[in-house]
């Protein structure tokens, strides 16, 4: 597979005169509510006149002939009302996405974006949200001929950060969206290796079967039926970013990269297997964050990530329920359902990361990212969920992540880990230490997206790092099953790169 990793979208700071034809832009896309536009009285007059003739302009994206403006094209992209108590900044992201789609349909190739500001604190990051929405619309998959586009943005202050984020989001969407062969584990790993070669992020790919079976036994169990098909065999990708000088913040990230999930011996039926090439959104998002860091090279942070890349195949070598596998942490895990494979992958990866914690410059925060459960979709629809361990909860980490996600149009719901979640995965016989899951689909299990974190804490050895321990470790589990693709459509929805923007803002203190 030919790898072409770049951002098809580059943002450029534009000046006021660009609205009136300077800079070579071929369309003006205005995102707003009332289109008051105090800095552009000529533009406001034109818009007011148009709305007076057609009130529908205030409700749907509209293209107006506008001689004297950029490219002679004016696209009005209304946010709709902003005063309802339950609205959020996604109004701007969605309007920008729709407005950019209209500009492209008109033939624009070099549009200019103007975002009307709001005094409401919910919309303080309206411009950032609009860039996320516009970038989502402008994204071109890697397996088509991509045409780079430079988009002018009025009022854009930190161009370098905006472009670094879009490069990271592009990589995340590429990795998540590739089909089961394009992004099988070796191809996914190669894509990362090529992207990060020579960058500020070091990359190591573990491919040796003996090493994976020895050091990642749960992950290897998931991949067992894929051995013998070279292009499907598992990989572990380790990415490291460490800035020079004093380190003030340390992160350890685990990404689930199931490149295709048949369900294994607990085979998915009734059409449920289609779309399961998108079960690698967690690993894709982690790689996307690292790509943004490679561009920005921020000071004072260190991030170590491991991506567990496997194909959960069906075959005579597949693991089966009732099998007991001893994980990297030494915990004996009884398999309850082979379609609950993502937590097995994450458990070994997290166990490796946990061992790195004592050598980190600061108390590190651990996170796992995964399209893990159908239950989170049943519970929260299109929203991601964050679940905290006791240490993270005591620090308010989940609440901080949630607050930032609300500002950046990637909203999370905050879930609570309870004692019942640990009971769900407790050993049932003396032969095991943990049960991976019961034998039902998570979507039909009470607390189906919370109890997997209880399993991860035990299976990764993080139960040794609670509040009263010598080395308490904050740990957040992010289940993005409902938000990794648009419209929750794993078959045809475009990958969203959620939550790369939120993680970058959280890491860099917003």
Strand segments (E) across 227-291: 235-242, 249-261
| Torsions phi, psi for 450 (to 5 deg) | -90, -45
Torsions phi, psi of 325, nearest 5?
Answer: -125, 130
Residues in contact with 103: Cβ distance below 8 Å, sequence separation at least 6, in sequence order: 27, 29, 63, 73, 75, 111
**Unique residue bearing structure tokens 């050993």:** 427
Distance CA(150)–CA(366), nearest Å, equals 36
Cβ-count burial of 87 within 10 angstroms (0-12 exposed, 13-18 middle, 19+ buried)? middle
Which of 129, 133, 73, 123 lies closest to 98, judged by CA?
A: 133
21 φ, ψ (degrees, to nearest 5): 110, -10
List the structure tokens of 313.
């195949």
Residue 343 is a catalytic residue: yes
Measured CA to CA, the distance from residue 419 to residue 413 in angstroms comes to 20
The SS3 call for residue 324 is strand
Residues 256, 278, 331, 343: which is the catalytic one? 343
Token match 């930190």: residue? 158
Centroid of chain to Cα 436: 25
Which residues have C-beta within 8 Å of that of residue 98, sequence separation ≥ 6? 60, 61, 77, 137
Residue recorded with tokens 């380190």: 247
Tell me which of 13, 44, 238, 268 is the catalytic residue.
Answer: 268
Range list of H helices, 54-204: 90-105, 126-138, 159-177, 185-196
Helix-strand-coil percent breakdown of the chain, rounded to 5?
A: 40, 20, 40
Question: Does residue 277 contact residue 183 with C-beta atoms inside 8 Å?
Answer: yes
Q: Which H or E run contains 367? A: strand 365-370
Picking from 376, 387, 385, the residue whose alpha carbon sits closest to that of residue 405 is 385
CA distances from 411 to 36, 71, 309, 451 (A): 28, 35, 27, 22
| Distance of alpha carbon 456 from alpha carbon 186, whole angstroms | 25
Active site residue 73: no
Please report, for residues 211, 343, 370, 380, 385, the alpha-carbon distance to residue 374 in angstroms, rounded to integers and kept in the order given: 32, 13, 12, 10, 12
Active site positions, annotated: 268, 343
């Amino acid at each position: 597979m030919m790898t072409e990793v770049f951002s098809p979208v580059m943002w450029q700071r534009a000046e006021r005169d660009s609205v009136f034809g300077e800079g070579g832009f071929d369309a003006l896309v205005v995102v707003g509510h009332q289109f008051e536009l105090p800095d552009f009285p000529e533009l406001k007059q034109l818009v007011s006149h148009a709305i007076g003739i057609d009130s529908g302009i205030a409700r749907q994206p509209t293209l107006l002939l506008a001689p004297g403006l950029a490219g002679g094209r004016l696209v009005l992209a209304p946010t709709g009302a902003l005063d309802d108590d339950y609205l959020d900044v996604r109004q701007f992201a969605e309007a920008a996405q729709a407005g950019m789609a209209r500009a492209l349909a008109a033939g624009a190739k070099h549009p200019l974006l103007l975002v009307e500001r709001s005094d409401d604190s919910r919309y303080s990051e309206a411009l950032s949200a609009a860039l996320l929405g516009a970038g989502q619309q402008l994204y071109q998959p890697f397996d088509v001929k991509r045409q780079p586009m430079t988009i002018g943005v009025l009022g854009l202050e930190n161009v370098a950060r905006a472009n670094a984020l879009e490069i990271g989001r592009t990589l995340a969407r590429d990795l998540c969206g590739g089909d089961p062969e394009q992004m099988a584990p070796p191809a996914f790993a190669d894509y990362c290796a090529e992207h990060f070669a020579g960058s500020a992020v070091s990359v190591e790919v573990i491919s040796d079967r003996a090493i994976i079976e020895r050091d990642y036994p749960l992950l290897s169990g998931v991949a067992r039926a894929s051995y013998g098909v070279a292009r499907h065999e598992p990989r572990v990708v380790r990415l490291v970013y460490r800035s020079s000088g004093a380190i003030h913040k340390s992160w350890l990230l685990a990404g689930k990269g199931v490149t295709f999930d048949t369900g294994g011996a607990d085979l998915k039926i009734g059409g449920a297997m289609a779309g399961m090439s998108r079960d690698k959104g967690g690993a894709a998002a982690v790689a996307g964050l690292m790509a943004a860091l490679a561009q920005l090279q921020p000071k004072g942070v260190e991030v170590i990530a491991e991506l567990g890349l496997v194909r959960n195949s069906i075959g005579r070598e597949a693991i089966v329920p009732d099998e007991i596998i001893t994980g990297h942490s030494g915990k004996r895990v009884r398999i309850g359902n082979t379609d609950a494979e993502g937590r097995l992958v994450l458990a070994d990866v997290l166990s490796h990361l946990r061992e790195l914690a004592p050598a980190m410059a600061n108390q590190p925060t651990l996170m796992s990212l995964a399209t893990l459960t159908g239950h989170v979709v049943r519970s929260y629809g299109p929203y991601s969920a964050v679940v905290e361990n006791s240490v993270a909860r005591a620090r308010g980490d989940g609440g901080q992540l949630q607050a930032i996600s609300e500002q950046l149009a990637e909203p999370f719901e905050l879930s609570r880990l309870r004692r019942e979640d640990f009971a769900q995965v407790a050993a049932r016989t003396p032969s095991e230490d943990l049960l991976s899951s019961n034998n039902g689909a998570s979507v039909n299990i009470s607390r189906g997206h919370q109890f997997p974190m209880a399993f991860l804490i035990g299976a990764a050895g993080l139960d040794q790092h609670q509040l009263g321990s010598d080395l308490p470790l904050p740990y957040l589990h992010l289940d993005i099953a409902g938000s990794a693709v648009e419209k929750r459509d794993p078959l045809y929805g475009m990958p969203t790169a959620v939550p790369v923007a939120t993680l970058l803002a959280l890491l860099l203190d917003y």
